[in-house]
Structure 1
Amino acid sequence: MTISSRTLEITQIAAKAAIDKIAVDVVALDLSDQLVLSEVFLIATGQNEAQVDSIADEVERQLAAFGDKSVRREHGAEWILLDYSDLVVHVQSAELRKYYMLDRLWNDCPTIELEGVREAAVNGR
């Protein structure tokens, strides 16, 4: 299965939004061959609860400005899930990301190159 161009576009916007709020370890996984309901998981890490919240809020704000609203938001203290159907955004604290290891759980899925991540790395963020 192939990821739609729209999903790739909103994935890039969501990744940029996360990086704008200084998220680290931002990764997008191509789940199009694994799941029927979602094409991409975007995973980002915040250093504390406030930053996790701020990252999720910025992703929602930038995607809303683009015309996309999440169909669901699940909120825990250190893990926020934003469901955009084809894109699911997971913003986690470093501790929960290490514990749940979503990257490892889906390690057979290819990653999607994210322009904002590459630029942030070049700029030392």
Structure 2
Amino acid sequence: MTVPESVMAELRTAAAAAEDKMATEILGLDVQERLGITDAFLICSAPSERQIGSVVEEVELRLKEEHGSVPLRREGRHSGTWVLLDYGHMVIHVQHEQERVLYGLDRLYADVPRLDLHS
């Protein structure tokens, strides 16, 4: 299976928003066959709590403006080190650089297809 084009469009918007706010290591993953509850993950990093907040705000704003999408739930907003935005069809993880290394989502999902976020 491949990620639906409508989801890819939203992932690309979210990735561009994250990049505009200087997020690093932006990665899209096709997790639908592995998880079955969502189509894709977007994972990105930032070096500070303030920048994580800025990335999250921009991603939410752009997805709402351009696609009418709002998260079904948000987790970690107040922790500042890992914010998860669950849109149902995709989940966005904005992690502090150290949290990303510690929890290793990249390693946990190393066997799933990577998504082209720049097409």
- The alignment's TM-score, normalised by the length of structure 1, stands at 0.89
Aligned-CA RMSD value: 1.1
Q: Which amino acid aligns with 2:106?
A: D
Alignment match, 1:17: 17
Q: 1:54 offset after TM fit, Å? A: 0.6
What residue ranges of structure 1 are gaps of 5+ in the alignment?
117-125
Does 2:113 match 1:110? yes
Paired residue secondary structure (1:3) = coil
- The alignment's TM-score, normalised by the length of structure 2, stands at 0.94
CA offsets 1:42-93 (integer angstroms, 9 cap, x no match): 0000110000111011000000102101101112220000001111000000
Paired residue secondary structure (1:34) = helix
Q: Residues 52 and 95 of structure 2 are in contact (CA less than 8 Å); yes or no, is this contact kept in structure 1?
A: yes
Paired residue secondary structure (1:81) = strand
Give aligned-pair identity as a percent: 38
Alignment match, 1:57: 57
What residue ranges of structure 2 are gaps of 5+ in the alignment?
none
Query: Where do residues 1-125 of structure 1 align in structure 2 (5 Å cutoff)?
Result: 1-66=1-66, 67-75=68-76, 76-115=79-118
